[in-house]
């Protein structure tokens, strides 16, 4: 429950930050990008705060949510989906590197190339860390 309360505080803080961004945009202190960011922060935070409030009030809902979040098949599916997302992203980006080079867009091609490299470096570093840990 302590963790739930910490999350509640965190979401209240993000909602306040989001509201501040909206306010500053309304006062023309920031550009429209920040109003979008602020609206998103407020929306997500409010939804999460309502969810946490329901979690604290309703035991059945809390139990249901606990199972949903800790169910090992759900966790495995999430891990598998992330793994697939990474795999297909790399392939699509690599194809993009070639396609953008062919259509005379070298800047985009180089940018995507860097992105592929960064992702692969992160993967290998993570792999080495995990290899040492396990």
- Which residues bind to another protein, rule: CB under 8 A? 66-68, 70-74, 76
CB 69, min distance to another protein, A: 10
What secondary structure letter does DSSP report for 91?
Answer: H
What secondary structure letter does DSSP report for 52?
Answer: H
Contact 15, 42 (CB under 8 A): yes
Question: Closer to another protein at the Cβ: 71 or 126?
Answer: 71
Cβ–Cβ contacts within 10 Å for residue 75, how many? 11
35-66 burial, b at 16+ Cβ within 10 Å, e below that, comes to bebbeebbeebeebbeebeebeeeeeebeeee
Question: Closer to another protein at the Cβ: 72 or 107?
Answer: 72
Contact 39, 9 (CB under 8 A): no
Question: Closer to another protein at the Cβ: 29 or 82?
Answer: 82
CB 134, min distance to another protein, A: 14
CB 41, min distance to another protein, A: 30
CB 89, min distance to another protein, A: 21
Question: Closer to another protein at the Cβ: 33 or 71?
Answer: 71
């Amino acid at each position: 429950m302590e963790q739930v309360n910490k999350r509640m505080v965190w979401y209240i803080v993000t909602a306040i930050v989001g509201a501040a961004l909206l306010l500053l945009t309304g006062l023309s202190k920031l550009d429209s990008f920040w109003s979008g960011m602020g609206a998103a922060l407020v929306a997500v935070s409010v939804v999460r705060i309502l969810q946490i409030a329901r979690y604290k009030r309703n035991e059945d809902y809390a139990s249901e949510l606990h199972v949903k979040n800790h169910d090992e098949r759900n966790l495995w599916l999430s891990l598998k989906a992330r793994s697939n997302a990474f795999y297909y992203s790399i392939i699509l980006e690599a194809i993009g590197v070639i396609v953008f080079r062919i259509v005379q867009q070298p800047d985009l091609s180089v940018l995507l190339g860097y992105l592929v490299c960064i992702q692969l470096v992160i993967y290998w570093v993570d792999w080495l860390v995990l290899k040492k840990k396990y």
